[in-house]
A and B are shown apart, each in its own frame.
Chain A
């Protein structure tokens, strides 16, 4: 019984994360991580790693929909892709050097400001 319940919860969680990722072109992972810890009972580090696996096919599928609709720019893609990979390595190395909670709060403040800027 408990097994079916948790599968149903995972199913619902997947629907929410997928819809968000398709509509907003990202951010699904931020929903998957807390759900994997809460519903899937996975430890935080494992939840982070596993969330990437969940979002990989999701992003691939929605990327194809965007591509079919003509949303592609070669220069933009190459430049951003190189930047993301280089930045990703740098960021991963920095991870242990700063307080994650403090960084999260600082990051949330920037994100909130960016959100307001996009609304108005």
Chain B
């Protein structure tokens, strides 16, 4: 039963992620708010489940010639280092504190999403929404 609930949570998170709207940012609140998973564990699961999904979608993107690696090493290396620092830092926080922090992060992201969504609607009025992917994943 528990397995099914977790599966459905993953299904919902993956579905929105596949449509290009924040995979993990959806999955984490679903797991903590509806399934009672602790904040740290939910974040860990999100990081882990992202890996196979990323490999699968990268293969498709490579085939479609959508990958442009020029200069990204300058972003990827510091990002990887800082993510380890962030990951170590967060172990000192209690689940409650991290949850509140995550809530604030979600609110900020959603305001940004509102902005891009409305911007896209206005831009889409004249022409077809060919810039579909401008919305975030």
- Binary B-proximity of A56-90 (CB < 8 A = 1, otherwise 0): 11111111011101011101111111111111111
| Residue pair A19, B85 in contact (C-beta under 8 Å) | yes
Of B11, B28, B68, B117, the residue contacting A105 (CB under 8 A) is B117
Q: Which residue of A lies closest to B76 (CB)?
A: A54
| Residue pair A104, B136 in contact (C-beta under 8 Å) | yes
Give the A interface residue count (CB, 8 A): 96
Interface: A95 (CB within 8 A): yes
Q: Which B76-116 residues have C-beta < 8 A from chain A?
A: 76-91, 99-107, 109-114, 116
What's the nearest-Cβ distance from chain B to residue A75, in Å? 6
Q: A50-B69, A77-B48 are in contact. Are A88 and B17 (CB under 8 A)?
A: yes
Interface: A94 (CB within 8 A): yes
Q: Which A30-62 residues have C-beta < 8 A from chain B?
A: 30, 32-36, 40, 42, 44-46, 48-62
Measured CB to CB, the residues of A under 8 A from B are: 6-7, 10-11, 13-30, 32-36, 40, 42, 44-46, 48-63, 65-67, 69, 71-73, 75-96, 98-105, 107-109, 111-112, 114-119
